[in-house]
Homo-oligomer: A and B are copies of this chain.
Amino acid sequence: MNYLELFEKIKQKGSFLCVGLDSDMCKIPAHFQTARHPLFSFNKEIIDATHDLAIAYKLNTAFYESAGQEGWNNLCMTIHYIKDKYPGIFIIADAKRGDIGNTSKMYADAFFSEMDADALTIAPYMGEDSVAPFLDYENKWVVLLALTSNKGSSDFQMVVNKENDKPLYQIVIEQSKKWADHNKMMYVVGATKAEMLKDIRKIIPEHFLLIPGVGAQGGSLKKVAEYGLNSHCGLIVNSSRGIIYADSTNKFADKAREKARVLQKEMNIILH
């Protein structure tokens, strides 16, 4: 999916919501525990209940890897299910990968060719040659960590560069925007850091930003939109736990829909 197609979807659905499928064996409703593919079966119901309200799903690979080989299988099954049943939905593998060139190439193959995700989150620490191999796939996206939503983000991302007085996360954005433009690259910016979106928008007015941290982590959608919106929306706002674990009974999918609907309505107003 390219930049304009993504914007079209956003307008069409009146939504820039990404539902985070952080599907955890210990948290999904009890009756899935005995299902053949518990995580996939849970995801399937969440997806069926929210696909018209969300423009993207984000699969956090940790939750699948922790269930071993079968977890990995559930991850792939979920992506294929979305691709088959709801084409045109943007799929983000939230894997935070990044390694030396020949290794990054293998990760790119794993997620873009083998798994057919549309986008992959990448950690920038190892620099350009660790990111470049992910940029070679047509209509596939790199979502680079810039400013994350967690407390520890201040440990290194806010280190101020002696040369230009800029914090590391800005250096990451300024450097990496030379590697690829807004048609290939997005950035992760935590919703808990909404005010900083103003400075970030000065550096990258056109790029899409993936914003986690709305909901369980305490970020505000209104603030994110105030500082982050651009002429092509430019935002993909993720909510995971607030939607998928809104209820733990067998009404979980209805409840997830309700929660997604609240966010989508708010987004629709923002978009107009």
Binding site for B on A (CB under 8 A): 22, 24, 60, 62-63, 65-69, 71-73, 76, 94, 96-104, 106-107, 109-111, 114-115, 123-131, 145, 148-157, 159-163, 165, 168, 171-172, 175, 217
A150 touches B130 (CB 8 A): yes
Q: Closest residue of chain B to A63, judged by CB?
A: B106
Separation in Å of the A62 CB from the closest CB of chain B? Answer: 4
A150 touches B125 (CB 8 A): no
- Report the bound CA distance from A128 to B94 in whole Å: 20
B165 touches A152 (CB 8 A): no
Q: Closest residue of chain B to A101, judged by CB?
A: B150
Separation in Å of the A239 CB from the closest CB of chain B? Answer: 14
User: Using Cβ atoms and an 8 Å threshold, which residues of chain B touch A149?
Assistant: 100
Q: Which of B63, B106, B161, B163 interacts with A24 by CB under 8 Å?
A: B106
B68 touches A100 (CB 8 A): no
B69 touches A73 (CB 8 A): yes
B22 touches A125 (CB 8 A): no
User: Using Cβ atoms and an 8 Å threshold, which residues of chain B touch A160?
Assistant: 161-163
Q: Which of B145, B148, B175 interacts with A155 by CB under 8 Å?
A: B175
Separation in Å of the A3 CB from the closest CB of chain B? Answer: 25
Separation in Å of the A191 CB from the closest CB of chain B? Answer: 12
- Report the bound CA distance from A267 to B12 in whole Å: 64
B153 touches A126 (CB 8 A): yes
Separation in Å of the A165 CB from the closest CB of chain B? Answer: 7
